[in-house]
Amino acid sequence: MKSSAVHRLRLVSGPEGLSFLLLLVCSVLKRTTSFNAVPVMGMVHGVLFILYVVFLALAAQQQRWPAKRSALLFVLSVLPTGGFFAERMLAKEERGESAVPATA
């Protein structure tokens, strides 16, 4: 079943992961050059992260995911490149290929 909550979560997970990587790059550039985009990227990443957490809570509630699945998706959001893995997992679920059952 295609869930709009899962779809929204999937759509925000990729940009959230990319913004995290860009924020890390900006942090390194701030320390090594005079370029400082950390305030801007920090705000962009913060907004995307909050959206991710809100959409995760809505999708978990709507799909009745087990706590382990929700925790895994949250942990992926705080790891560099984790958002890309979350997006891939959610895309498979939307296509009905998920090996993890929606309910436990």
Tokens of 92: 């498979």
The 3-state DSSP class for residue 34 equals coil
- 81 within some domain: yes
Here the tokens at position 84 are: 């890309």
Q: Is position 82 within any domain? A: yes
Q: Is the backbone of residue 64 left (phi > 0), alpha (psi -120 to 50) or beta?
A: left
Between 1 and 2, where is the model more confident?
A: 2
What whole-number distance in Å separates Cα of residue 18 and Cα of residue 24?
A: 10
Tokens 């779809």 map to which residue? 7
Host domain of residue 50: 4-95
pLDDT for the residue 104: 47
**Total tally of structural domains belonging to the chain:** 1
Give domain status of residue 100, yes or no: no
Q: Is residue 17 part of a domain?
A: yes
Q: Could you tell me the pTM of the whole model?
A: 0.86
SS3 state of residue 62 = helix
Q: What percentage of the chain exceeds 90 in pLDDT?
A: 82
